Chain A
Amino acid sequence: MDANILPLLSIIIFIQLILAPIIYLVTRGSKKFGDILSIITSSIPFIIVLYFFNIVYNGSTVYEEYPWIPAFNLKIGFLLDQTSYPFALLISLMGFLSTIYSTKYMEHEHNYAAYMALLLMFNAGMLGVVLAINLFLLYIFWELMLIPSYFLIAYWGTGRPRIIGFKYFVFTHAGALAMLFGIVWLYVLYGTLELSQLSHLITNSIENLYIAILIFIGAAVKMAVFPFHTWLPDAHAEAPTPISVLLSGVMIKTGAYLIVRILLGLFSWAISLINIPIVILALISMIWGGVMALVQVDVKRVLAYSSISQVGYILFGLVTLSPVGVAGGIFHVLNHGFAKGLLFMCSGVLIHVLNERDLNKLGGLASKMPFTATAMLVGGLSIAGTPPLGGFASEWMIFSGGIDSGLTIYTAVAIANTALTAGYYLRMIRAVFFLNPKQDISKVHDASLTMIAPMSILLFLVIILGFINYPITTIITKSVIQLIKM
Chain B
Amino acid sequence: MMVYTWYEVRWRLLLPYSPWISWIIPLIGCIFVPLFFKLGKRVGEAYSVAVIFLASVFALSMVPDVWGGRSWVESIPWIPTPKGFIEAGVLVDPLSVLMASIATFIGAWIMLYSVGYMAHEEGLPRYYFFMVFFIGGMTGLVMADNFLQLYIFWEIVGLCSYALIGFYYRKPEAAHAGIKAFITTRIGDVLMLVGIVILYAMFGTFKYSEITHALSHGLREEMISLPLLTLILVLIFGGAVGKSAQIPLHVWLPDAMEGPTPVSALIHAATMVKAGIYLTARLTLTVIPFEEFPPAMLHQWYQTVAYIGAVTAFFAATMGLVMTDIKRVIAYSTISQLGLMLAALGLASELGWTASTFHILNHSLFKALLFLAAGSVMHAVGTTNIDEMGGLARAMPITFSTSLIGALALAGVPPFSGFFSKDLIIEASLETGSLPIYLLITFTSILTFIYILRWIYKVFLAPPSHHNTHAHESPPVMTIPLIVLAAGATLSGIISEATHGFPEYLGINLHHSTSLTTLLTSAGIILSGAAVVYLVYFGRVMPPEVFRSRGFGYMLHKILVNRYYIDAFYYRIVDGFVSFSNVLRRRAEDGGIDRFNYLVADGVKGAVNILRNIQTGSSNINIGGLLIGLAILILIFLTLLYGGLW
Contacts and interface: CB of A to CB of B under 8 A. Distances in A.
B194 A412 contact: yes
Interface string A364-403: 1011000000000100010000111000110011011011
A312 interface: no
Interface stretch (B8-16, B35-43, B319-327, B580-588): B580-588
Contacts of A400: 197, 200-201
Nearest to A294: B581
A145 to B, nearest CB: 22
A292 B578 contact: no
Interface string A471-486: 0011001001100101
Interface string A282-325: 00000010011011100000000000000000000000000110
Interface string A417-428: 011001100110
Interface residues of B, number: 48
B148 interface: yes
A367 B123 contact: yes
A419 B581 contact: no
A469 B79 contact: yes
B198 interface: yes
Nearest to B158: A386
Interface residues of A, number: 59
A323 B204 CA distance: 12
Given A400-B197, A415-B193, A433-B169, A426 B183 contact: yes
Given A295-B582, A323-B83, A469-B79, A434 B169 contact: yes
B597 interface: yes
B387 interface: no
Contact of A411 (B79, B83, B194, B597): B194
B193 A396 contact: yes
Which secondary structure dominates where chain B touches chain A? helix
Given A403-B198, A419-B190, A291 B80 contact: no
A392 B162 CA distance: 18
A435 interface: yes
A396 B194 CA distance: 9
A283 B163 CA distance: 30
Contact of A327 (B82, B193, B585): B82
A65 interface: no
A261 interface: no
A374 B200 CA distance: 33
Contacts of B601: 170
B3 to A, nearest CB: 42
Contacts of A397: 81
B599 interface: no
Contact of A477 (B81, B123, B159): B81
Given A324-B81, A388-B152, A412-B194, A295 B581 contact: yes
Nearest to A479: B82
Contact of A486 (B82, B163, B169): B82
Contacts of B166: 434
A363 to B, nearest CB: 9
Q: Which of B78, B80, B187: most chain A Cβ within 10 A?
A: B80
Given A292-B585, A416-B190, A386 B170 contact: no
A352 interface: no
A403 B201 contact: yes
Contact of B83 (A324, A381, A473): A324
A249 B151 CA distance: 27
Q: Which of A296, A388, A400: most chain B Cβ within 10 A?
A: A400
Given A397-B81, A430-B175, A430-B179, A435 B581 contact: no
B193 A435 contact: no
Interface string B169-207: 110100110110011001100100110011011000000
A481 B581 CA distance: 41
Contacts of B152: 387-388, 392, 466-467
A408 interface: yes
Interface in B514-541: none
B473 interface: no
A436 interface: yes
Contacts of B79: 393, 469-470, 473
Interface of A: 167, 170-171, 227, 229-230, 288, 291-292, 294-296, 323-324, 327, 364, 366-367, 377, 381, 386-388, 392-393, 396-397, 399-400, 402-404, 408, 411-412, 415-416, 418-419, 422-423, 426-427, 430, 433-436, 466-467, 469-470, 473-474, 477, 480-481, 484, 486
